[in-house]
A = this chain, B = another copy of it.
Amino acid sequence: VTKLNRQILLAKRPLGLPEISDFQLVEAPSFDIHDGEVLIQTIALSVDPYMRWRMGGPEMHSEPFELNNVISGGGIGKIIESKNPNIPTDCFVTGQLGWADYNVSDGTGLRMVDPKNAPIESALSVLGMTGLTAYFGLLDIGKPMPGETVVVSGAAGAVGTVVGQIAKIKGCRVVGIAGSEHKAQYLKEKLGFDAVINYKSEGVYESLKKACPDGIDIYFDNVGGEVSDAVMYLINTYARIIMCGQISEYNQKTPSMGPRLQKYLIYNQALMQGFRIRQYSDRFNEGFEQLGQWVRDGKLTYRHSIVDGLENAPKAFIGLFSGQNLGKQIVKVSEE
């Protein structure tokens, strides 16, 4: 059956903050599938800040999105046709999907999702790359110890919400940095953060100093910029700074400047380490098992900000940069 397949292309490389006109929605017939392939109906798509790098072209990313090609990212879908004996129809899968109603795949990189375990969208959040990013970044680089103080920026975002909860599970004092009172309240009341700083209404340095009377042992950075500068002035000896994202930087048209911070690393014998979740691919199963266990035990909760309609994916993506989402931003494309 030939179905109409809407696709979202990258029409222009964004300059600064992406605009709706950088994207184009086109309609094409859906693909024919060949032996070994499956046809996937997209149920939901993940929009993530790192995708801005891929939009920026080869100077910003080694695997840039190509102009006038379909944008791709994390997604979940349902197998509606299969010529692959290992992947039955009607099952749910997650993996890299094009921003389109339908995708064809030979199964490479797909992972089955059991809808009985949790809402399948959680395969894009706490039980997906988002959760793994929080898990490996915090535990493998940060190595939190009970009683240590963990600060997380972008605390109300997809990764930040998971980081804070895992840090609580590990017995740490957790201080979030977020951009609204509503987010701060959610983090404190629903996720058990010990304190949350609203960087839009408070002086970050002064508030952090109050919220972290014993200094800062671990900083999980999703944001960068001045917010992160303030953290660096308060780190303890042997602090670990986990560089996960720098969302404040991705839309800068010229390299942004800040105070040179390297001397704080020397003085405090501190570590700053960048990572990308792919480097932990051989340990994903460990992460999935532990995250699933915490979710089942009620120790780890999650929140999805859902936008309806494939056509709204660009808007949802752009909204990440103004912090419109609370928890994981998901684009719902079709019903399960």
Contact residues, A247-286 vs B (CB, 8 A): 249, 255-260, 262-276, 279
B residues less than 8 Å from A274 (CB atoms)? 262, 264-271
Chain B, Cβ-Cβ closest to A255: B259
A155 close to chain B: CB less than 8 A: no
CB of A225 within 8 Å of the partner chain: yes
CB distance from A317 to the nearest CB of B (A): 19
Q: Are B245 and A266 in contact (CB under 8 A)?
A: yes
* Residue A217 interfacial (CB < 8 Å): no
For A268, give the chain B residue with the smallest CB separation: B274
Q: Which B residues are in CB contact (< 8 Å) with A271? A: 271-274
A246 within 8 A of B: yes
The complex places the Cα of A133 from the Cα of B17 at a distance, in Å, of 44
A221 within 8 A of partner (CB):
yes
Contact call B279/A275, Cβ cutoff below 8 A: no
A244 contacts the other chain (Cβ, under 8 Å)?
A: yes
CA distance in complex: A173, B256 (Å): 32
Residue of B nearest to A259 (CB): B255
Closest chain B CB from A270 CB (angstroms): 5
A265 to B258, CA, bound (A): 16
- Give the contacting residue for A266; candidates B225, B244, B258; CB below 8 A: B244
* A243 interface residue (CB < 8 Å to B): yes
A264 / chain B contacts, CB cutoff of 8 Å: 274
**Bound Cα distance from A244 to B269, whole angstroms:** 9
Q: Are A279 and B269 neighbours in the complex by a CB distance under 8 Å?
A: yes
A-B contact pairs, 25 of them (CB 8 A): A221-B262, A224-B260, A224-B262, A225-B260, A243-B265, A243-B266, A245-B266, A246-B260, A249-B260, A249-B262, A249-B263, A257-B258, A258-B258, A262-B274, A264-B274, A265-B272, A265-B273, A266-B274, A266-B276, A267-B274, A267-B276, A268-B274, A269-B279, A271-B271, A271-B273
